[in-house]
Amino acid sequence: MMKFCCLIVITLCTICVSNGGILTEQCLALNGVCGRKGLTCEQIFGLGWIEKGICCNKKPCCGEESKVIPDINHSCGFETTEQCFFRQSSLDDFDWTRGSAGTPSDDTGPGSAAEGTYYMYVEASNNSPSTRAVLTTEATDLQACPWCLTFQYHMKGSATGTLEVSAGDKTSSLTSIWTKTGEQPNPESWKTATIDIPLYNNLGITIKASVKDWYTSDIAIDDINLKSGTCTNA
């Protein structure tokens, strides 16, 4: 009688884990690629490559320098009359107004700033329906990377119009990426807008407020912040 021996081969699977910034096991580099031990990232991949950490076996984790998002922060609270990175557009129908306390119209607008003393608002009483005021970053050079835009907004009034944020390559048309229309819930309170701005070359961003058809459509904004990176990581 012949006897057969079965050889059972057990394959152990390893998982890439991160421990104290050092990647182990399969040498999979987070947001980069593993280079060769003893050589710099630039020597392996060429100009523009930098070390972002260590893979296993002391290999460098390499990434393209151009893809490393810098830590940049622009902010504007309108506490001074100096123009910030958002400026009045010359292509709108009228300008935003810098104010404090309430707006001149009853039953619309905020009673005070969201932060500090001053804010910007559109005064509907003196402007026709469908006209708009626009703030733009057209005069500001913004790096080509993802951005996170946050600001406070106030939309109170029975005839409140539309507040809209658009972004894109400023050498062409911009795309609407966020919008609110009409009086918002709990209208006495300021609300927070948190908006991811995709990567564009020659980035331009606008914040546009449109008047509806009555004086009770004042819209206000305050405490604008623009940080490099996505809103999750910014």
Domains in the chain, start-ordered, CATH in brackets? Answer: 18-67 (no CATH), 73-228 (2.60.120.200)
Does position 3 have pLDDT exceeding 60, yes or no? no
Distance CA(87)–CA(140), nearest Å, equals 9
Please say whether the beta carbons of 201 and 122 come within 8 A. Answer: no
The pLDDT value recorded for residue 53 is 84
Judged against a pLDDT cut of 70, whether residue 27 lies above it is answered with no
Question: Which H or E run contains 227?
Answer: strand 219-228
Mean pLDDT (whole number) for 173-190 = 96
pLDDT score, position 32: 78
Q: Which amino acid makes up residue 226?
A: L
